[in-house]
Structure 1
Amino acid sequence: MISSNDFRSGVTIELDGSVWRVIEFLHVKPGKGSAFVRTKLKNAQTGSVVEKTFRAGETVPQATLEKRTMQHTYKEGDQYVFMDMETFEEARLNPNQMGTAVNYVKEEMSADIVFWNDQVLEVQLPTSVILEITETDPGVKGDTATGGTKPAIVETGAQVMVPLFISIGERIKVDTRDGSYLGRET
């Protein structure tokens, strides 16, 4: 159990059979009446956001999340298969469970899988990944880093905006949080 006075951004709680993550919180102590905590909560399964008010000191169950580092071993149909390299247990995830991570995950890549009651909540990839360009317009002599950008398709099928001088076959570093180009692989 956790008190509403102990809410912080990122804390996970259980309400109505779901896991909710505290996004924002504000302790309010009005001149008249008792204090309360106004929160903005995000559902970890559906992504919906709600505002809820708790009395000061009210206790709610804290969600116990388990984070396991697993390796993406292969893709079978539309299922992504991850294996725990210590226990050799497999987890099969569909694209909805993967979220935006589906754009950047490749075989032999490690990721943190967050579980709640043996149910997958989210997939957390490293901050950046190195991917190979499979499709883009050819670079032209004179294209520089300060020029514009062009779309490129990487080996996972995601589209990334890259500088004009990047060509097919080059390996680039991509930010998995927003899909932005970070630079060439060094």
Structure 2
Amino acid sequence: MDTHHFLTLCFFLLLSCHALTSSATTAEEDASDFVRRLDRKSLGLHKKEKLSHIKLYFHDIVSGPNPTSVTVVPQAHKNDTTFFGMVKMIDDPLTQGPDRSSKLVGKAQGFYAASSQSEFSLLMAMDFVFIEGKYNGSTITILGRNAIFNKVREMPVVGGSGIFRFARGYAEARTKSIDFKTGDAMVEFNVYVFHY
């Protein structure tokens, strides 16, 4: 390649780079129409972050005339002991104590799905929707794996709303009772959550 062709090629490469940079700048300027920086104080983020421990009891009721957990997708194969593929929607009571008659403090709303072919393990996606006192209307969102026959299962808290806006942390689940005839279960949840 002679010098003239080499210089021409370099010139076109420089023009191409300039065009790409210009279009990227234009794209950034266009993006600023819907994205803007905020002052943390405008969202209450100047306050000191708190760490709260929430202990409550989750009642998964699949039996009787008014179940709070219903199958929306059956398991893939009837003989599968892991129930792989099954999906249940939940609106489970959350109580202050272990008895179902204990004070209702909220509901666990969302779904869980049997997500393993080798063990009975669930993918859980749910909001703890609180109805009690200053927490009324606030939520904590939990998303994670729940290998239900493990003594303690840990799932991440991935967000929240209201008092728990910008929440992050984790939840520990411990099954306290399960009726293998009906499928009803009661699980103790200890939730450790950072929030403002």
TM-score by length of 2: 0.26
TM-score by length of 1: 0.26
Structure with more contact order per residue of length (Cα contacts < 8 Å, sep ≥ 6) = 2
Task: Compare the two structures and name the one with the higher helix fraction.
Answer: 2
Task: Compare the two structures and name the one with the higher strand fraction.
Answer: 1
